[in-house]
Amino acid sequence: MESRNKFKKTHKTTPLSDHETITVTHPFLPYSGKQYCLIGKLNSGGKEKLLCLDSNNKEVVIPIEYTNLKKEEFFQKQANERCDFRYEDLLNLAGLLEEIRKSV
């Protein structure tokens, strides 16, 4: 009989020596604004995630893009927080508006 361990997913965890507090910044999550103790970073399927402890010392995994540690996009950095939209999203919107204009 084969071991079940063969089918378990493994994740590479980067241990952190200094624990820091992260904040959930995604506006549509019910726990937006909540803070967690960061204990490690995971890389799962090319997606970077954070391993954290909640107020009950329970481990939770949060995608990095939902926190204050998300990587700043070049356009947003150049816009100096004066733009609420990403460049790619504006291009997609312009394309959709053009399609609507042509169909009318």
Q: Which of 95, 93, 75, 94 is nearest to 84 (CA)?
A: 75
8 — pLDDT class (breaks 50, 70, 90): very low
Rounded Cα distance between 93 and 50, Å, is 32
Residues 50 and 20 in one domain: yes
Residues 62 and 82 in one domain: no
Write out the residue range of the structural domain in which residue 51 sits: 8-70
- Within 8 A by CB and 6+ apart from 29, the residues are 66
Residues 20 and 66 in one domain: yes
Q: In what order do the strands lie in the sheet with 47-53?
A: 12-23, 35-44, 47-53, 59-63
Residues 47 and 85 in one domain: no
Torsion region of 44: left, alpha or beta (phi above 0 gives left; psi -120 to 50 gives alpha): beta
In a domain, 1, yes or no: no
Count of domains in the chain? 2
In a domain, 98, yes or no: yes
Q: Which of 85, 75, 76, 42 is nearest to 60 (CA)?
A: 42
Residues 65 and 15 in one domain: yes
Mean pLDDT of the chain: 77
* Per-residue pLDDT tens digits for 16-54: 545 689 999 888 888 899 999 999 888 888 888 999 998
Rounded Cα distance between 69 and 89, Å, is 21
